[in-house]
Amino acid sequence: MFNILVTGANGQLGSEIRYLSKNYNYNFLFTDQKELNITDYSNVNKIVIENKINAIINCGAYTAVDKAEDEIDLANLINGEAVKNLADISKTLNIKLVHISTDYIFNGKNYKPYIETDEVNPIGVYGKSKLLGEKYISDINPKNSIIIRTSWVYSLFGANFVKTILKYGKERDKLRVVYDQIGTPTYARDLATVILDILPKIENINLEIYHYSNEGAISWFDFAKEIVKMAKLETKIEPIESFEYPTKAKRPFYSVLNKRKIKEKFNISIPYWKDSLKLMLNDKSLENK
């Protein structure tokens, strides 16, 4: 049996992997911070050896973008040092490693979708901490290790933009949403499916980096408009500029990801963002979340 350790299993992506796990002939060990502190090398190493783990899917991360500006050490510990632990263990024990990274490692000043080899230059602590994790994996370079950068993740599980718009869309007559930040939503279930499908096909000597999001490019304003429209809510969505909604951390103005590499390497097709949003909103279990 192929044994997979999933860290951050109670987050959006980890929860979607758990939801899909019944469809795959793998043996999963789902852990979150309470069950496994990935910043503790000895503990992780012990768990991996005891459970004869063949692959690690690291969904664990510090994702509070604004709080990270004040909690620099904690962000670097979880997004950087903990990733170093996983990379070290993966190399020593010769197991596969799938690490999830972010569009925030770019500065958002591009004019066309980012490819994997584009210059990285994060503009905030969160992006810098995620880049630190990437650098650790690159330096350690465990065999059969990959990084998947993604963007604008949403899910039935956890807190995210879609669920926020649904909540406030039912409570308020008007919502103001920025229109000058452009990217692509990613339905976590789509990403989870791809990870589980390609896992047996990952065979590389050196680290490989891939980009994955749904297809298309939109603003947060456009995204909110479509959520409200599909959910048949009456609230009005008004466009605003980023300076009208100040946040502690700067956001990339453009972070669309080019997915050609992962599509060609693993022969996959990627759903259009609007189709995936419709699937998520039509999921009856959303009513209970």
The catalytic residues are 126
For tokens 């947060």, the residue is 220
Per DSSP, 288 falls in state G
Residue 18 parent element (H or E): helix 12-20
Q: Give the β-pairing of 3-7 and 27-30.
A: parallel
Exposed, middle or buried: residue 3 (CB in 10 Å: 0-12, 13-18, 19+)?
middle
Q: How many helices (H) and strands (E) does the chain have?
A: 10, 12
Q: What is the dihedral of CA 119, 122, 128, 133, to 10 degrees?
A: -40
Distance CA 181, CA 238 (A): 14
Give the phi and the psi of residue 91 in degrees, each rounded to 5. Answer: -70, -45
